[in-house]
């Protein structure tokens, strides 16, 4: 275990594990089939302090280093539902720009209620016309007196249907990254609508397309400086990509553990499946991928904790971790055989969820290109 983990980290792990075992795991199957989970889960998570990890005490949070976030990802993943993880923790990509760049009034309005689980926050950047090409976004916000008038749409937005607050990337200036701003938009803003999306995986997560039809948003809802929003997004992306890597690592471990348990229990031709060399070798390969991913994750996280911004390594980490997940989910389903193809197995669900992590937060191909630039090529 990395030396950055302390007794406090382990106590937090025990807290999250108890919460997941009592409030999440028993209900996952029903939530997956319902394609939603109760809004009350946010409040329950807020009451035990899970939503405030890493946020200032002044807003009800608990200051914490990045290793607490890794622990949170690991333990929530044990329920085996990426949809629950993504939906419950959607504020993790929505409110950091507000905390870092927002006005005192904006922080006071949004952050405490989200941390308590009373309100839900979502990040809205991706558009129907493009995903990873953030600098080319088309949603516009023109200034009219003390309001911005927002027109356009966003898609693939996690918590898009149920969120109360949206951190939205808009174009307030010219072309390219220099014309982008961030606005906080309330869901009850006239002209705002949303429609749900059906997905391959993450069934329990609410995902939507958002529409802004001449929405009038107060200038006071500007997050940071006008036309400086791209910088806020880039800071956010570093955090998001590490979180994606932590989730990919954590779900890889869930697949491995389910495969090992099945291989011990399943008897074929009079012998446990685990006695077959080919199965043992599959499991060793999975363990090797998981171990290397964990080491890469913790080493990168430690550098970030020291104040570094190793963008190339973060991009490569995200790719490494999601490739690990794809390998482990595929092999776990293969080891489980028919049982791995039937709904109810964690590996079956995770197998359907692998691609969203390889695409979300910057597609694998974009990560390679960004890494190459920061490596000086």
Residues annotated as catalytic are 240
Q: Is 148 helix (H, G, I), strand (E, B) or coil?
A: strand
* DSSP code at position 150: E
* Residue corresponding to tokens 């200032």: 56
Q: Which residues pair with 150 in a beta bridge?
A: 141, 215
CA distance 282 to 85: 27
Q: How far apart are CA 120 and CA 39, in angstroms?
A: 9
**φ and ψ at 10, to 5 degrees?**
-70, -35
Q: Alpha helix locations (H) across the chain? A: 7-19, 28-34, 40-47, 66-77, 82-88, 91-94, 96-101, 104-115, 229-265, 277-305, 311-336, 346-359, 364-374
- What six digits make up the tokens of 43? 């409040």
Torsion of CA 95, 101, 103, 109, to 10 degrees: 0
Q: From CA 65, how far away is CA 67, in angstroms rounded? A: 6
Report the relative pairing of strands 147-158 and 180-186 from DSSP bridges: unpaired
User: How many C-beta atoms surround the C-beta of residue 17 within 10 A?
Assistant: 15
Cα–Cα nearest to 318, from 260, 259, 257, 361: 361
| SS3 label, residue 153 | strand
Two tokens, residue 172: 């307030």
Whether residue 223 contacts residue 106, with contact meaning beta carbons closer than 8 Å, is answered with yes
Report whether 185 contacts 109 (CB < 8 A). no
């Amino acid at each position: 275990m990395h030396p950055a983990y302390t007794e406090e980290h382990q106590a937090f792990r025990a807290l999250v594990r108890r919460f997941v075992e009592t409030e999440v795991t028993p209900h996952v199957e029903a939530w997956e089939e319902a394609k939603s989970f109760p809004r009350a889960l946010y409040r329950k998570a807020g009451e035990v302090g899970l939503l405030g990890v890493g946020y200032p005490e002044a807003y009800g949070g608990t200051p914490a280093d990045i290793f607490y976030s890794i622990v949170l990802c690991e333990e929530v993943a044990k329920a085996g539902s990426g949809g629950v993880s993504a939906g419950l923790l959607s504020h993790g990509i929505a409110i950091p720009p507000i905390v870092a760049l927002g006005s005192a009034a904006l922080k006071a309005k949004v952050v405490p209620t989200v941390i308590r689980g009373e309100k839900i926050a979502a990040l809205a950047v991706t558009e129907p016309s493009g995903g990873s090409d953030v600098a080319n976004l088309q949603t516009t916000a023109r200034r009219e007196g003390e309001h911005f008038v927002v027109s356009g749409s966003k898609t693939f937005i996690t918590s898009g249907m149920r969120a109360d607050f949206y951190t939205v990337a808009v174009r307030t200036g010219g072309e390219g990254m220099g014309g982008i701003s961030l606005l906080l938009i309330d869901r009850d803003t006239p002209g705002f609508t949303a429609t749900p999306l059906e997905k391959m995986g993450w069934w329990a997560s609410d995902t939507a397309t958002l529409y802004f039809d001449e929405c009038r948003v107060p200038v006071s809802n500007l997050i940071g400086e006008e036309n400086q929003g791209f910088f806020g997004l880039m800071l956010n992306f570093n955090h998001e990509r590490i979180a994606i890597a932590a989730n990919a690592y954590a779900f890889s471990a869930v697949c491995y553990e389910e495969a090992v348990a099945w291989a011990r229990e399943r008897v074929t031709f009079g012998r446990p499946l685990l006695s077959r060399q080919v199965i043992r070798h599959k499991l060793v390969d999975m363990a090797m991928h998981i171990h290397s991913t964990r080491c890469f994750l913790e080493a990168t996280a430690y550098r970030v904790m020291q104040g570094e911004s190793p963008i190339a390594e973060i991009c490569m980490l995200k790719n490494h971790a999601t490739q690990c997940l794809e390998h482990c989910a595929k092999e776990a389903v293969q080891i489980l055989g028919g049982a791995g193809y039937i709904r109810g197995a964690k590996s079956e669900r995770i197998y359907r969820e692998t691609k969203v992590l390889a695409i979300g937060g910057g597609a694998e191909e974009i990560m390679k290109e960004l890494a190459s630039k920061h490596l000086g090529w």
